Copies of this chain bind each other. A is one copy, B any other.
Amino acid sequence: MVNKRRRGTELETAIYQATLEALEKEGFLKLNFGHVSELAGTSKSVLYRRWDTPFELAVAAIKYKIKTENSGQMDEIVWQGHSLKEDLEQLLNRFIVSIRTFDVYSTGGIMIESSQQQQDVLKKVLDEGIEVDIRAIEQILQRAQARGEIKYVNLKEEIKLLPFDWIRYQILIRGSLEQKDVQIIIEDVLLPTYLSALN
């Protein structure tokens, strides 16, 4: 390897891509600076200069990925359903796609520990997502109200988040989610819940 040194943004995106590649192949636990620097075609010292731990690198890389690829996707949904049920189907299926993107970087997914600091960081990432989820549900409820399917739109936050929590659990922990499961949660749980609380 000789001349042509990358730096700044160019170098960092290369590192991020290498990190994501490593995460996909080896997962979180095995992520280390040595391997990533090889993949990125740079050297360890470059990574040690920028991040203190592989964990921080991983978070930065995932943030980068979300920013460049998913940015605004959930925010700008064009609703196409003609009923509360159809809107929910559209929303949850879209959500499943985006959560699976995440899942790739935690091969399978199992709970393990992390430091308090690390938890705070990840909690923040999660919470940012939650706001988007809540807004989406609120939009759906208002559409349903306009149609006359429900009278009110005030729902407790925990209930608004229920389908997202449940889907995350199925994908990240259980490791599987079939189409029929989504139908079940919508028809047997969400619709009865909403109709009971909002009429």
Taking beta carbons and an 8 Å cutoff, which residues of A are in contact with B?
27-29, 106-116, 118-119, 122-123, 126, 156, 158-159, 162, 165-166, 168-170, 172-175, 181, 184-185, 188-189, 192-193, 195-197
Q: How many protomers of this protein does the assembly include?
A: 2
> Which of chain B's residues have a CB closer than 8 A to the CB of A27?
112-114
**Contact call B193/A111, Cβ cutoff below 8 A:** no
Closest 3 CB pairs of A and B: A27-B113, A192-B196, A107-B113
Determine the distance from Cα of A28 to Cα of B29 in the docked complex, in whole angstroms. Answer: 11
- The answer to whether A113 and B119 touch (CB under 8 A), given A166-B169, A169-B165, A184-B158, is no
In angstroms, Cα B173 to Cα A158, docked, is 15
When A193-B193, A196-B196 are in contact, do A184 and B159 touch as well, CB less than 8 Å?
yes
